[in-house]
């Protein structure tokens, strides 16, 4: 996983201005790799006195940092676990979840593959190893090459929860470091199948398959199907704060959830939060 730590220092700090405000954001590499730094950059353009410290080392580290008081905002691509909430409460931290974007995971196959759609059950069977050959799901004969994220990724567990009824992956599945690697392998392998965030569905050589719901309706990963809850493999992304956000953190979150911030979210390959009804 990308464990880059990005320090964006405002010009005011570089010039030694003592009045600079600092916002520490730690957590998910999914959010912190690209989306949040871009939003921070845009926010800083309007608020030059602000200093950002963004550390993207995984959702767990973000929740831990918020609990320890070493971050103002914890980024997480998953919900906090009960033990994390109880640990935070023990330290007087009341974790407040704020949805900042959605992530839809698309099932991709090689563009030469004749299969265009799969049922929920077939997706579960393929990734769990119940079926071994493409001919079992309407494809050309040939064994599946199943690509997954590696075990340290939060997405690895999320996919089990969302698509596999919490079952284990097929023992033959191949673990990849990230979305790019899965898309690249599927693009090269006519028998390949994997899952990636929708930002990576335009990689060369791959195509997205539709998901056949129980009512036989076929859905594709898109902002509309995420918002109307019809796409089954979508998950919210979170900022966690200690209680209701206030001060600089509140200003930044307001900006992120505003029109400009959500525009950046969409351009980063994530699904924006729908406007409140």
Partner 1 sequence: MLNLKSKLFALVAALLCAGTAFAQDSGPLIDMLVKKGLINDQEAEDLRGELLKDFAANSPAGKLDISSRVNRLTLALDARIRYQYDNETTNSPGTAGPNNDRSRYRYRFRLAATALLNNNWNMGLRLETANGATSTNDDFGAAGSTNFAKDANTAFVGQLFIGYAANGAFIGAIDNLDVRIGKHAHPYFVPGVNGFYIDSDINVEGLSEQLTWFDAPAKGWQLALRGGQYILANNSRTTVGAVFTNSPSIWWVGQAEFSKTYIFENNVYGTRIAPTFMAFTAPGIVSGANAYDNFGVFLLPVEHTIKFHNKPLAFYATYGVNLDGRARTKRLYPAGTVENSYNQMGNAGIRYGGARNPGDLQLTAEYRFIESGAYTNFLADSDFNAGRTNGAGFITSASYLFTDAVTGTVTFFHAENIDKNSPAAIGFHKANVLQVDLSARF
CB of 85 to partner 1, least distance (A): 4
Q: Which residues sit at the interface with partner 1, rule CB under 8 A?
A: 79-83, 85-86, 89, 94-99, 157, 166-168, 229, 236, 238, 273-274, 276-277
Residue placing its CB nearer to partner 1 in the complex, 134 or 231: 231
Among candidates 89, 59, 92, 87, which has minimal Cα distance to 73? Answer: 59
Q: How many angstroms from the chain centroid is the CA of residue 265?
A: 12
- As a residue count, the chain comes to 277
CB of 94 to partner 1, least distance (A): 7
First to last CA, the chain: 37
- Cβ proximity of 232 and 210 under 8 Å: no
Indicate the burial class of 5 (C-beta count within 10 angstroms; 0-12, 13-18, 19 or more).
exposed
CB of 89 to partner 1, least distance (A): 6
Alpha-carbon gap, residue 233 to 221, rounded angstroms: 8
Sequence-separated (6 or more) residues with CB below 8 Å from residue 132: 143, 144
CB of 203 to partner 1, least distance (A): 29
Q: How many angstroms from the chain centroid is the CA of residue 42?
A: 21
Residue placing its CB nearer to partner 1 in the complex, 54 or 95: 95
Residue placing its CB nearer to partner 1 in the complex, 167 or 175: 167
Torsion angles phi and psi, residue 17, rounded to 5: -70, 125
CB of 234 to partner 1, least distance (A): 11
CB of 191 to partner 1, least distance (A): 24
Residue placing its CB nearer to partner 1 in the complex, 85 or 118: 85
- Cβ proximity of 221 and 104 under 8 Å: yes
Residue placing its CB nearer to partner 1 in the complex, 49 or 167: 167
Residue placing its CB nearer to partner 1 in the complex, 85 or 184: 85
CB of 261 to partner 1, least distance (A): 15
* Pairing relationship of beta strands 95-110 and 234-242 according to DSSP bridges: antiparallel
Residue placing its CB nearer to partner 1 in the complex, 100 or 182: 100
């Amino acid at each position: 996983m990308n464990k880059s730590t990005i320090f964006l220092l405002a010009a005011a700090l570089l010039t030694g201005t003592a009045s600079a405000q600092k916002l520490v954001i730690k957590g998910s590499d999914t959010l912190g790799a690209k989306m949040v730094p871009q939003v921070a950059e845009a926010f800083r353009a309007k608020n030059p006195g602000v200093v950002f410290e963004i550390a993207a080392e995984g959702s767990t580290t973000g929740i831990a940092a918020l609990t320890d008081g070493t971050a103002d905002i914890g980024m997480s691509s998953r919900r906090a676990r009960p033990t994390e909430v109880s640990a935070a409460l023990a330290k007087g931290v009341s974790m407040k979840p704020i949805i900042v974007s959605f992530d839809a995971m698309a099932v991709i196959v090689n563009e030469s593959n004749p299969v265009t759609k799969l049922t929920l059950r077939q997706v579960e069977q393929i990734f769990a190893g119940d079926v071994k050959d493409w001919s079992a799901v309407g494809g050309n004969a040939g064994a599946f090459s199943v690509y997954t994220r590696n075990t340290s990724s939060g997405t690895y567990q999320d996919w089990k929860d969302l698509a596999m009824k919490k079952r284990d992956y097929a023992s033959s599945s191949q673990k990849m470091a990230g979305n790019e690697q899965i898309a690249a392998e599927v693009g090269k392998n006519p028998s390949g199948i994997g899952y990636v965030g929708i930002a990576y569905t335009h990689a060369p050589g791959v195509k997205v398959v539709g998901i056949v719901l129980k009512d036989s309706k076929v859905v594709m990963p898109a902002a509309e199907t995420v918002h109307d809850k019809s796409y089954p493999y979508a998950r919210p992304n979170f900022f966690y704060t200690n209680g209701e956000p206030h001060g600089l953190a509140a200003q930044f979150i307001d900006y992120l959830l505003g029109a400009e911030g959500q525009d950046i979210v969409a351009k980063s390959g994530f699904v924006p939060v729908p406007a409140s009804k």
